[in-house]
Amino acid sequence: MAQDIYILGIESSCDDTAASILCNGKIRSNIVATQEVHQQYGGVVPELASRAHQQNIVPVIHQAIAKANIGKKDISAIAFTRGPGLMGSLLVGTSFAKSLSMGLGIPLIEVNHMQAHILAHFIEEDGFGKPEFPFLAMTISGGHTQIVKVTDYFSMEVIGETIDDAVGEAFDKSAKILGLPYPGGPLIDKYAQEGNAKAFKFPKPKVSGLNFSFSGFKTAVLYFVEKQLKEDPHFIEKNLKDICASIQYTIVEILMDKLKKAVKETGINQVAIGGGVSANSGIRTALLDAEKRYKWKCFIPKFEYTTDNAAMIAIAGHYKFLKKEFSDYSTTAQARYKI
């Protein structure tokens, strides 16, 4: 009888400290400690994030192992996020993973955070199908916006990406302009569901190929709000739901236009999404609509696997473990780490 493969996944790329245990590709535990400290600053403060990771990492890993009902000696290998992300945050997870791997005498596996968002679709989960190769993956988060052609677990090619800001940044900055607290993206989504998406028109940037741009969009939202507030100081509170719905509608259109183009150019009609923004109801609805309209096969991850989590790091580690792709102790964190 084959021995069970237990992978401990560790994620610390930004402001969430996470640990997960996978057994043969199935989740046994998935623990995330979020950091509230950043809200008062309206964004993630890297130094504070690093300190919070140092406080959280031991209890989070301890909890993940305990919840999985195993001991440290049962772990087959440790997978950790090497990058991309905030350097100080990555260092905490990387250092801890290397030390634990050395202490337990088990393999160390480095994982690319963006590849892991895509591979989250391969976690064994009832009611969720897995894409077949080749497929297109759109990774959308606060730090990334990419369209990736995936031909195998670790054979990925970025065919389109943002040339400036990420889509999550566009959501959060728009929310900030409207006076909403950080993180504002989910609040725009919440208010958008009760608003009229055609109430206000925002421009869609013209970018060549399959690339994206959101900096001009953010500026357009800022100028629009400033202009309206001069005419009516209560404009935002009177029209908040309609403004949010119009912002969300435009952002989703920008994403979907490029995705349609990617499907047309590659001939691949299997589409998966990943990253924090894939929790957005507008993009989920648009994908399900495209599935019916264009006969696509769409894969939308379970909510807990959209934002940063360690289960996706563990599943990436699982497939690397099967190929015996291990790292040595000279490996270092990389803030910029291409797929």
State the binding site. Answer: 113, 117, 139-143, 172, 185, 189, 280, 308
- Give the orientation angle of helix 215-231 with respect to helix 235-266, to 10 degrees: 160
- The residue among 19, 29, 105, 78 whose CA lies nearest residue 317 is 78
Q: What is the DSSP string of 218-278?
A: HHHHHHHHHHHHHH-TTHHHHHHHHHHHHHHHHHHHHHHHHHHHHHHHH---EEEEESGGG
**How far is the C-alpha of 207 from the C-alpha of 16, rounded, in Å?**
33
What residues form the annotated binding site for substrate?
139-143, 172, 185, 189, 280
Q: Is 166 exposed, middle or buried (0-12, 13-18, 19+ CB in 10 A)?
A: buried
What residues form the annotated binding site for Fe cation?
113, 117, 308
Amino acid identity for residue 338 in this structure = K
Residues 6+ apart with CB under 8 A from 17: 11, 32, 33, 35, 52, 53, 56, 57, 60, 92, 93
